[in-house]
């Protein structure tokens, strides 16, 4: 019995088309990267605005760094161009084409790269980064934890003091309800539209904004716990 050549043809076609698909992916990423980006440490204490261009240079594509970049991030003084490597790596490179920092997309529009003995750096769309910074600034200050009946069970302060791992310190005020003191949050961060509180025991409480500009503990319950800005 003769075998149909169709499966073999399908495999050959896939092999032949794979480089084309990869080229299209790289081309799409290159197009998406054109514009202004913020290069920063994970806590955004040191930032640099990078403008990626579509113009060719002898060793890659052209870019511009804002004047304050070398002071904020000293390694940026070596960056002379950028390029796409493979399917998903954005390379910031020196004049010889060597990588100064390779960044890989870890979330939509957010790229992460590591420099040996220095740490992790984040590349994010400038508008999105500034929007996040503004949102963070609005979170900093005094809050009250309130039950659905309006009774306040705890006061707390969200700070912008770095606690590591992209988190910031949070402090409880005296006379909190046992429910809160048992949880004992010490860190917080804003992530995907949620205020997340962390305890030293590895527990988390997540609060989402509702239609009344309040932040409710999720999942919701018949006796909700609400965060209110003071």
Q: How confident is the prediction for the chain on average, in pLDDT?
A: 85
Cβ atoms of 180 and 154 within 8 Å: the answer is: yes
Q: Is 128 helix (H, G, I), strand (E, B) or coil?
A: helix
Residue 161's nearest CA partner among 43, 47, 41 is 43
Question: For residue 14, what pLDDT band results from cuts at 50, 70 and 90?
Answer: very low
Residue with tokens 């006796």: 223
Residue (of 24, 29, 100) closest to 59 by Cα position: 100
Region of 170 (left: φ > 0; alpha: ψ -120 to 50; beta: rest) is beta
Band of pLDDT at residue 37, cut at 50, 70 and 90? very high
Q: Which of 95, 128, 92, 90 is nearest to 111 (CA)?
A: 90
Instruction: Name which of 13-22, 60-69, 70-79, 187-196 the model is least confident about.
Output: 13-22
- Quickly list H helices, 46-94: 69-72
Q: Is a pLDDT exceeding 60 seen at residue 9?
A: no
Burial of residue 27, with CB atoms counted within 10 A of its CB: 0-12 exposed, 13-18 middle, 19 or more buried:
exposed
The model's pLDDT over 168-223, given as tens digits with 9 standing for 90+, comes to 999 999 999 999 999 999 999 887 778 899 999 999 999 988 766 688 998 888 88
pLDDT in tens, 100-156: 999 998 888 889 999 998 989 999 988 888 777 767 778 889 999 999 888 999 999
What pLDDT is attached to residue 58? 80
Q: Report d(CA 92, CA 173) in Å as an integer.
A: 46
HSE value, Cβ hemisphere, 13 Å, CA-based, for 32: 18
SS3 218: strand
Alpha-carbon gap, residue 89 to 99, rounded angstroms: 11
Question: What kind of fold does domain 6-128 have according to CATH?
Answer: Lipocalin (2.40.128)
């Amino acid at each position: 019995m003769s075998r149909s050549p169709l499966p073999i043809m399908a495999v050959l076609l896939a092999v032949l088309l794979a480089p084309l698909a990869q080229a299209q992916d790289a081309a799409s990423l290159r197009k998406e990267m054109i514009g202004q980006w913020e290069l920063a440490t994970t806590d955004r204490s040191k930032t640099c605005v990078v403008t990626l261009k579509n113009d060719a240079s002898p060793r890659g594509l052209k870019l511009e760094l804002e004047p304050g970049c070398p002071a904020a991030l000293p390694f940026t003084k070596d960056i002379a161009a950028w390029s796409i490597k493979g399917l998903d790596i954005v390379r910031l490179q020196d004049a010889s084409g060597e990588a100064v920092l390779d960044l890989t997309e870890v979330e939509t529009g957010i790229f992460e790269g590591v420099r040996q003995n220095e740490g992790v750096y984040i590349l994010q769309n400038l508008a999105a980064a500034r929007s996040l910074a503004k949102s963070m600034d609005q979170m900093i200050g005094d809050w009250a934890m309130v039950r659905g009946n309006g009774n306040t069970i705890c006061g707390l302060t969200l700070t912008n003091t770095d606690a590591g791992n992209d988190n910031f310190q949070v402090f409880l005020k005296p006379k909190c309800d046992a429910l809160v003191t048992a949880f004992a949050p010490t860190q917080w961060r804003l992530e995907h539209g949620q205020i997340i509180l962390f305890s030293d025991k590895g527990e988390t409480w997540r609060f989402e904004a509702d239609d009344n500009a309040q932040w409710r503990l999720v999942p919701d319950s018949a006796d909700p716990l609400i965060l209110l800005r003071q």
